[in-house]
Each structure stands twice: as C-alpha cells, then as structure tokens.
C-alpha cells in the first residue's frame, strides 16, 4: 500500500471515529485538539515508507489502522469516564474586588485557551472571579485609573487523559464594568452568558467546538466578531435587543433566512434594529459548521 494512500485513509477513518463517538456522548470536540498533537506519527509513517520504497506491506498497514482506531477510541472513553472524579481536584482561583480598583469603569479580558470547557457568566460581588480546575495557566492583571486588564493564558503541558479532563475554566464578570473580551481558543465547549453585561466588544477566534452565546441589554452599540473553523455556534438574544448580523459561510448551515429579518446583501437585521436602544452588530465567519440564532 502506498504511504500517501495509507495516511489519507487513516486520517479520514480517525475523524469519522471521533465524530461517531462524540455523537454517542463520549469525549468532546476538544478531542481534535488533543489528537492533533500526535502529528509526528505522520513523519514516522513516511519514514517507514522509505524502507519499502514508498510502500508499506498491506498487513502492516492494517495493523497500523487497527491500532490507531483502538487508541483513539480508548482515549475518548477513558477521558469521559475519568472526568467526574478528576474535576474535584485542586483548583486555582482569582477574585478581584471593587475595593482594589474603586475608580475602574471598564475592563479588557483576554483569554488564550487551548481546549476544554469554558464558562463565562455575570457576577455580582466582585469585579472578576475565576475558578480553574487546571493550575497550568499564566495570569497577568494590570490596571490604570479607569481600565482593568486581565490576561489568562493556558500553558503548554505534557498531556494525559486525566490532565486533559481537568481543563475547565469558570469565569464571572461584573455588570458594573463595560467589557471588551478577546477569546482565542483551540477546541472548546463553551457557554458565554453576557446577558445584561455592558459589552463594548467581543472578539472570538475558535478552532473547533460548540459555543453558546447568550446576549441582550449589552449597551447602545456592542460589536461582536466570531471566526471559527469546524464549529457549531448558537446565539440566544433578548427580544428587546436590536441585532444585525453579517454572515460569511455560504457552505454552512444557518437559520437566518427563517427568522424573517430584513436582508441586505450579506447583512441580516432584526425588525426592531433601528428603534432598539440596545444594539448588537455581529460579524460571523465559519469555515465549517452551523449557525443557529434565536430571539
């Protein structure tokens, strides 16, 4: 069997196995991120092919396929089984109080997030709270007289199924501040609830995964930009909020035409957009996946 045929077929089989297991409730979209770290195996296969002048004996090729499928299946089922026990392990936290920065009026939150579960929701008692079920991160907090800047970066680490299942960030942000959020993520399952939070800007760059954004009453002119690879993106928006969406993803599924909104070129506007006191302007680009919008 030619080495190119083996590699192409193996990649298709593994992607199919991952998607099948996800559909049956095993693992998550973060599996793509983890398994992508095994790319040096492709170099090994190419090197083996040189020993047989570009070909690998068929029986060896079948063994490689069986072993790869078994390893991926074992990882996803093992990670799923260990998750409930491991999520209660040691955590790190951040708690920024109003007393620390009494003059702050707006905040910037920047996340560099490799993969896992990300939860963001409104908080009450603090300007910012965070619980991390994985201590492998870097944090930096800076403040001027009126602006608070928070940087969170997921550090690189040697992966094990137990360690990957620990990666869960839960963040709470104060509605007292006007926020700008920059999220750069790999493979992610996320729930971003910003309903009632003053939002200047949200920039979200995703590799793969499932993302739910809950929006509404975010201010006079909130700007949202989402760029994603193989992702399912859901927007849930309060009915009293005016929405305009520019969507780039002709080959992807979406329900925009079913909403009965006003369409102009690639822009869709809710009927109440001009009259609404709270407005959201969205620019969404999907390479593959689905966009679902509901009011």
Distance of CA 185 to the CA centre of its chain: 5
Clarify whether residues 62 and 99 are in a common domain.
no
Q: Domains in the chain: how many in total?
A: 2
* pLDDT attached to residue 204: 95
User: Which pLDDT does position 28 carry in this prediction?
Assistant: 58
pLDDT over threshold 60, residue 206: yes
Q: Are residues 19 and 103 in the same domain?
A: no
Are 82 and 96 found together in one domain? no
Are 269 and 213 in a shared domain?
Answer: yes
Residue 196's SS3 state is coil
> Does residue 201 contact residue 181 with C-beta atoms inside 8 Å?
yes
Higher pLDDT pick, 31 / 87? 31
* Residue after which a domain boundary falls, among 86, 115, 146: 86
Whole-prediction pTM: 0.68
Same domain membership, residue 152 and residue 9: no
Measure the CA angle with vertex 161, ends 155 and 167; round to 5°.
Answer: 40
| Host domain of residue 41 | 3-86
Q: pLDDT tens digits, residue range 239-279?
A: 999 999 998 875 567 888 888 899 988 899 999 999 999 99
pLDDT at 234 over 60: yes
- The set of residues, in sequence order, having a beta carbon less than 8 Å from that of 152 and lying 6+ positions away, is 109, 110, 111, 112, 113, 130, 137, 138, 139, 169
* C-alpha separations of 147 from 67, 101, 125, 127, 144 in Å: 53, 9, 19, 12, 5
pLDDT score recorded for residue 30: 59
More confident residue, 46 or 230: 230
Mean pLDDT of the chain: 81
Question: Among 69-73, 189-193, 275-279, 284-288, whose mean pLDDT is lowest?
Answer: 69-73
User: In 3-state terms, what secondary structure has residue 60?
Assistant: helix
Considering 59, 86, 113, which residue would you say is the last residue of a domain? 86
**168 against 159, higher pLDDT:** 168
Query: Tokens 């192409």 sit at which residue?
Result: 8
pLDDT value, residue 53: 67
The tokens describing 181, both together, are: 């959020």
Mean pLDDT of 184-193: 90
Of 215, 208, 232, 235, residue with least CA distance to 276: 215
In this structure, are 217 and 80 located in the same domain?
no
At residue 170, the pLDDT reads 93
Compute how many other C-beta atoms are within 10 angstroms of the C-beta atom of residue 264: 9
The pLDDT tens digits for 118-136 are 999 999 889 999 998 765 6
Cβ proximity of 22 and 28 under 8 Å: yes
| pLDDT at 13 (0 to 100) | 80
pLDDT of 84 = 38
Residue partners of 29: CB distance under 8 A and separation at least 6: 22, 187, 188, 189, 208, 209, 210, 231
Q: End of a domain among 71, 86, 101?
A: 86
Q: Are 152 and 80 in contact (CB under 8 A)?
A: no
């Amino acid at each position: 069997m030619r080495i190119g045929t083996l590699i192409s077929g193996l990649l298709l089989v593994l992607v199919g196995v991952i998607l099948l297991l996800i559909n049956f409730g095993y693992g998550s979209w973060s599996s793509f991120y983890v398994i992508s770290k095994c790319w040096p195996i492709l170099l090994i296969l190419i090197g083996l092919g040189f020993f047989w002048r570009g070909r690998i004996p068929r029986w060896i090729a079948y063994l490689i396929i069986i072993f790869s499928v078994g390893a991926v299946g074992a990882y996803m089922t093992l990670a799923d089984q260990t998750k409930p026990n491991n999520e209660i392990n040691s955590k790190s936290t951040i708690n920024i109080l109003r007393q620390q920065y009494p003059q702050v009026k707006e905040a910037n939150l920047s996340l560099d997030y490799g993969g896992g579960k990300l939860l963001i929701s409104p908080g009450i008692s603090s300007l910012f709270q965070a619980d991390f079920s994985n201590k492998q991160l870097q944090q930096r907090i800076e403040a001027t007289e009126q602006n608070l800047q928070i940087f969170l970066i997921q550090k690189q680490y040697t992966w094990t199924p137990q360690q990957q299942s620990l990666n869960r960030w839960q963040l709470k942000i104060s509605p007292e501040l006007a926020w700008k959020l920059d999220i750069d993520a790999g493979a992610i399952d996320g729930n971003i609830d910003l309903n009632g939070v003053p939002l200047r800007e949200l920039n979200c760059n995703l590799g793969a995964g499932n993302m739910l954004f809950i929006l509404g009453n975010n201010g006079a002119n909130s700007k949202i930009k989402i760029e994603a690879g193989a992702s399912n993106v859901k927007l849930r928006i309060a009915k009293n909020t005016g929405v305009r969406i520019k969507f780039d993803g002709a080959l992807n599924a979406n329900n925009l035409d079913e909403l009965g909104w006003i369409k102009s070129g690639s822009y869709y506007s809710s009927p109440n957009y001009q009259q609404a006191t709270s407005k959201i302007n969205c620019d969404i680009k999907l390479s593959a996946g689905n966009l679902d919008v509901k009011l």
